[in-house]
A and B are shown apart, each in its own frame.
Chain A
């Protein structure tokens, strides 16, 4: 047998198959180990590189853990007040219709304080992309209950679990905005396994491509983990997410090319 390939023979420029996109800066991300934000950022950056639209993309960062997203993506960005990113993106897109504009928001930002901005940007059919990272919790402020916190799920403001009688039900805002005529593409993805990442990247790419069509808004939910907030190791958190989050927030396309997909 010719086990003649040594590591030093393989690690050569001509054999490079995967490296960090230059659209990501070299700054070390502040996220906790295993946090899906980093992967979600990277997919957006990779798509921007592949489409060669670095000079034509403006991102809107939210409030929350990803408030410092602009430290990691080497593109022009604006940082929004909590929940207001879709309003900001609306103005950016309307003033510069040829640019690619996206918001990046967490579940507290998008589905609680920013519900009005989210729904109305969707309903107006703004030709922007919204990347919505749902980890079922307010991460940055210390693991409080979010609109997306599952029934009976513990958080720092539902320490005995979310009692829906008292605290209301989790909000499936992605299914909700899919009903609006202004949304063109609505999908739910994840980034915790290689196959999920590959699918999520296709969705991200589609969200950017759609902006050329001028048919409406693309919303990509990414169900993600918050291992610090959930008080688990990263690997445990991903397993917990599969067992608990994904049955409630099933992955897959919800609306394609303006058409709601029938439930299987």
Chain B
């Protein structure tokens, strides 16, 4: 019988991966995401499903192990936190360039540099704009609860295989460490048949399979880039996910994802108690970004406040989406500081209503 269990976000990701029939996890310890590797090592998934778990010598090695496993057509994933994700960017670029499906979890902490181990959302650019070298995109999913941490593992794998593209769960230290109730789906069997492009050994009946991101012929390389861009446009048409809260009559809109979106839900309540008609748009996919709903809502709004635990990164995508149709401002905290619901409501009032703060 299915029942709720109480679990940390990081642990929920690990358990959900086993249940999703993942073939392998390759990781390296870093706060605040080490529980993913710890949970998997303690849970012995090789005995439950045959899943491989390996602690790599570095984040660089771990992401390249993901490349190798994904190249064999397997469901493989890794997790890390911001400084470690920076190290994985080389591998992610190669994975995107070789069109391999995989899942990467970033439990974001504050930067730059070693920053702090406390939560932040300052890896938005790195996640949704590519991150490594070259023109590529990750599919970026932003959970806002431990339940979604679990649910997005299966979704991430599905989208990664559908598009032969790396998917990222972009979460943060608060959600990683937070304990909440979560209900898991049934155990999915591991794959027994693999994609026709996978390097599983050249059987006599087929051409050899090559996993590479290299094409020295510029005309071919441009053609390949155009193919990638077409894939990203298709994602923008078909895979946008978001949640609207109290938006029907909203004059002002908060846009926030992850932990910030949870806080903003309370801010919406507080503002409405004061008679300010505020709604919340919570992007669930950060790439593809919910541009269209923002564009469509813009003419009916007096202002949009993008709320992030960063200096203002997602706000640029909000600005692009509304393209001047409505005023857009940013409110954020940095360095591991989490804004309170009051702070956000106050910022909204000061910027848009009292005009005492220019955003």
Does the CB pair A54–B202 fall under 8 Å? yes
Task: Give the contacts of A108-129 with B (CB-CB under 8 A).
Answer: 116-117, 120
Does the CB pair B199–A81 fall under 8 Å? no
Q: A90-B65, A117-B64 known; A96 and B208 CB under 8 Å? A: no
| Binary CB contact string for chain A from 50 to 83 against chain B (1 if under 8 A, 0 otherwise) | 0000111110110000011010011111111100
Q: Within 8 Å of chain B (Cβ to Cβ): is A87? A: yes
Q: Within 8 Å of chain A (Cβ to Cβ): is B220? A: no
Q: Which residues of B contact A67 (CB under 8 A)?
A: 214
Q: A60-B68, A78-B67 known; A95 and B74 CB under 8 Å? A: yes
Q: A67-B214, A78-B71, A81-B90 known; A87 and B56 CB under 8 Å? A: yes
Q: Which residues of A contact B321 (CB under 8 A)?
A: none
Q: Report B180 CB to chain A, min CB distance, Å.
A: 32
Q: In the docked arrangement, what's the CA distance between A68 and B56, Å?
A: 27
Q: Which residues of B contact A94 (CB under 8 A)?
A: 24, 52, 54, 69
Q: Within 8 Å of chain B (Cβ to Cβ): is A42? A: no
Does the CB pair A91–B69 fall under 8 Å? yes
Max chain A CB contacts within 10 Å: which of B66, B72, B204?
B72
Q: Which residues of B contact A73 (CB under 8 A)?
A: 208
Q: Of all chain B residues, which has the CB nearest A67?
A: B214
Does the CB pair A79–B210 fall under 8 Å? yes
Does the CB pair A96–B72 fall under 8 Å? yes
Task: Give the contacts of B274-319 with A (CB-CB under 8 A).
Answer: none
Q: Report B17 CB to chain A, min CB distance, Å.
A: 15
Q: Within 8 Å of chain B (Cβ to Cβ): is A92? A: yes
Does the CB pair B199–A78 fall under 8 Å? yes
Q: Report A51 CB to chain B, min CB distance, Å.
A: 13
Does the CB pair B201–A58 fall under 8 Å? yes
Q: Within 8 Å of chain A (Cβ to Cβ): is B340? A: no
Q: Which residues of A contact B329 (CB under 8 A)?
A: none
| A residues contacting the other copy or chain, number (CB 8 A) | 33
Task: Specify which of B61, B66, B209, B214 is in contact with A120 (CB 8 Å cutoff).
Answer: B61
Counted as pairs of residues, one from A and one from B, with CB atoms less than 8 Å apart, the total is 127
Q: Within 8 Å of chain A (Cβ to Cβ): is B213? A: yes
Q: Within 8 Å of chain B (Cβ to Cβ): is A41? A: no
Q: Within 8 Å of chain B (Cβ to Cβ): is A137? A: no
Q: In the docked arrangement, what's the CA distance between A78 and B98, Å?
A: 9
Q: Of all chain A residues, which has the CB nearest B91?
A: A81
Q: In the docked arrangement, what's the CA distance between A245 and B195, Å?
A: 45
Q: A55-B203, A70-B212, A76-B209 known; A91 and B91 CB under 8 Å? A: no
Does the CB pair B68–A117 fall under 8 Å? no
Q: In the docked arrangement, what's the CA distance between A87 and B28, Å?
A: 13
Q: Within 8 Å of chain A (Cβ to Cβ): is B57? A: yes
Does the CB pair A81–B94 fall under 8 Å? yes
Task: Specify which of B65, B204, B211, B213 is in contact with A87 (CB 8 Å cutoff).
Answer: B65
Q: In the docked arrangement, what's the CA distance between A81 and B68, Å?
A: 11
Q: Report A108 CB to chain B, min CB distance, Å.
A: 16
Does the CB pair A80–B210 fall under 8 Å? no
Q: Of all chain B residues, which has the CB nearest A89?
A: B68
Q: Which residues of B contact A54 (CB under 8 A)?
A: 202, 204
Q: In the docked arrangement, what's the CA distance between A76 and B60, Å?
A: 24
Task: Give the contacts of A10-69 with B (CB-CB under 8 A).
Answer: 54-58, 60-61, 67-68
Q: Which residues of B contact A203 (CB under 8 A)?
A: none
Q: In the docked arrangement, what's the CA distance between A97 and B203, Å?
A: 17
Q: Within 8 Å of chain B (Cβ to Cβ): is A88? A: yes
Q: Of all chain A residues, which has the CB nearest B23?
A: A95
Q: When A and B form their complex, which 6 residue pairs have the shortest distance between CB atoms, in order from nearest?
A: A91-B68, A88-B68, A79-B212, A76-B199, A87-B64, A120-B57
Residues of A within 8 A of B (CB): 54-58, 60-61, 67-68, 70, 73-81, 84, 87-92, 94-96, 99, 116-117, 120
